[in-house]
Amino acid sequence: MTDQLDYQVTVEELAALMKRTAGVHVDPVTLRQQADDGFDTFGLDSLGLLGIVAELEKRYGLGLPEQAERCKTPADFLALINGALKTGV
Amino acid sequence: MSGPQRARHHQQDGRRRAVVTGLGVVSPHGIGVETFWKAVADGTSSLGPVTREGCEDMPLRVAGEVRGFDAAETVEGRYLVQTDRFTHFALSATQLALDDARFGRADVESPFSVGVVTAAGSGGGEFGQRELQNLWGQGSRYVGPYQSIAWFYAASTGQISIRNDFKGPCGVVAADEAGGLDALAHAALSVRNGTDTVVCGATEAPLAPYSIVCQLGYPELSRATEADRAYRPFTSAACGFAPAEGGAVLVVEEAEAARDRGAEVRATVAGHAATFTGPSRWAESRQGLAHAIEGALAEAGCRPEEVDVVFADALGVPEADRAEALALADALGAHARRVPVTAPKTGTGRAYCAAPVLDVATAVLAMEHGLIPPTPHVVDVCHDLDVVAGRARPAEPRTALILGRGLMGSNSALVLRQGDAAPSADR
CATH classification of the domain holding A81: 1.10.1200.10
What's the DSSP call for residue B16? -
The set of residues, in sequence order, having a beta carbon less than 8 Å from that of B12 and lying 6+ positions away, is none
Q: Is B183 in contact with B173 (CB distance < 8 Å)?
A: yes
Helix axes B354-369, B179-192, angle to 10 degrees: 70
In this complex, is the C-beta atom of B149 within 8 Å of any C-beta atom belonging to chain A? yes
B78, B142, B148: residue with CB nearest A24: B78
Q: What sign has the CA pseudo-torsion B410, B411, B416, B421?
A: negative
* pLDDT value for A7: 76
Among chain A residues, the shortest Cα distance to B72 is held by A23
CA distances from B125 to B158, B204, B210 (A): 17, 10, 6
Taking phi first (over 0 means left), then psi (-120 to 50 degrees means alpha), and beta for anything else, what does residue A27 get? beta
Task: Look at residues B349, B353, B410, B350 and name the one whose alpha carbon lies nearest to residue B119.
Answer: B353
Secondary element (H or E) of residue B248: strand B246-254
**B218 has a chain A CB within 8 A of its CB:** no
Question: Which of A17, A18, A47 to mutate to test binding with chain B, by most B CBs within 10 Å of its CB?
Answer: A47
CA of B204, closest CA in chain A: separation in Å? 23
Residues of B in contact with A19 (CB under 8 A): 77
In B, minimum Cα distance to A47 occurs at B145
- CATH number 3.40.47.10 is the correct assignment for the domain at B18-260: yes
State the pTM of this model.
0.93
Phi and psi torsions of B103, nearest 5°: -105, 100
What is the C-alpha separation between B211 and B232, in angstroms, rounded? 23
DSSP letters of B202-230?
EEE---SHHHHHHHTT-TTB---SSTTTS
Beta carbons of A58 and B82 less than 8 Å apart: no
Please state which CATH class domain B270-420 belongs to.
Answer: alpha beta
CA-wise closest residue to B289 among B277, B303, B304? B277
Domain count, chain A: 1
How is chain B split into domains, by residue range? Answer: 18-260, 270-420
B145 has a chain A CB within 8 A of its CB: yes
Q: Flag whether residue B79 sits within 8 Å of chain A, measured between CB atoms.
A: yes
Decide if A43 and B78 are in contact by the 8 Å CB cutoff.
yes
Q: List beta partners, residue B202.
A: B119, B248
Quote the distance between the C-alpha of residue B198 and its chain's center. Answer: 15
Residue B222 · residue B346 · CB < 8 Å: no
- CA gap B355, B312 in Å, rounded: 11
Instruction: Give the A-side interface with B, CB within 8 Å.
Output: 19, 21-25, 43-44, 47-48, 50-51, 54, 57-58
Sign of CA dihedral B244, B81, A59, A49: negative
Distance CA B64, CA B242 (A): 7
Q: B406 vs A17, B178, B179, B218, B289, CA distance in Å?
A: 43, 5, 8, 12, 11
3-state SS, residue B343: coil
**Cα–Cα distance between A23 and B146 in angstroms, integer?**
12
Chain B residues with CB under 8 Å of A39 CB are: none
Query: How large is the angle between the packed helices A74-87 and A46-60, nearest 10 degrees?
Result: 20
Using a CB-CB distance cutoff of 8 angstroms, which residues of chain B are in contact with residue A47?
A: 82, 145-146, 148-149
φ and ψ of B72, to 5 deg: -65, -15
Where residue B120 falls (left for φ over 0; alpha for ψ -120 to 50; beta otherwise) is beta
Nearest chain A alpha carbon to B146:
A47
pLDDT at residue B424, rounded to an integer: 52
Q: Give pLDDT, residue B9.
A: 54
The rounded distance, in Å, linking the Cα atoms of B76 and B408 is 36
Burial class (CB in 10 A: 0-12, 13-18, 19+), A33: exposed
Nearest by Cα to B85 from B178, B177, B176, B205: B205
B135 interface with A at CB cutoff 8 Å: no
pLDDT of chain B, 427 residues: tens digit per residue: 333 344 455 555 668 999 999 999 999 999 999 999 999 999 999 999 999 999 989 999 999 999 999 999 999 999 999 999 999 999 999 999 999 999 998 999 899 999 999 999 989 999 999 999 999 999 988 999 999 999 999 999 999 999 999 999 999 999 899 999 999 999 999 999 999 999 999 999 999 999 999 999 999 999 999 999 999 999 999 999 999 999 999 999 999 999 999 999 999 999 999 999 999 999 999 999 999 999 999 999 999 999 999 999 999 999 999 999 999 999 999 999 999 999 999 999 999 999 999 999 999 999 999 999 999 999 999 999 999 999 999 999 999 999 999 999 999 999 999 998 876 544 3
Smallest CA-to-CA distance from B24 within B164, B186, B223, B167 is with: B164
Degrees (nearest 5) of the Cα angle B252, B177, B70?
65
Q: Is B270-420 in the same CATH topology as B18-260?
A: yes
- DSSP 8-class letter at A45: -
Which residue, B242, B232, B282, B292, is CA-closest to B408? B282
Chain A contact for B213, CB < 8 A? no
Helix (H) or strand (E) holding B274, with range, is strand B267-276
The helix (run of H) or strand (run of E) holding residue B173 is strand B170-173
Q: In chain A, what percentage of residues exceed pLDDT 90?
A: 76
A21–B81: do the CB atoms touch at under 8 Å? Answer: yes
- The tally of CA atoms less than 13 A away on the side-chain side of residue B131 is 21
Give the residue numbers spanning the domain of A16. Answer: 2-87
Kindly indicate whether the ipTM for this predicted assembly is greater than 0.90, answering yes or no: no
Question: Is B157 in contact with B170 (CB distance < 8 Å)?
Answer: yes
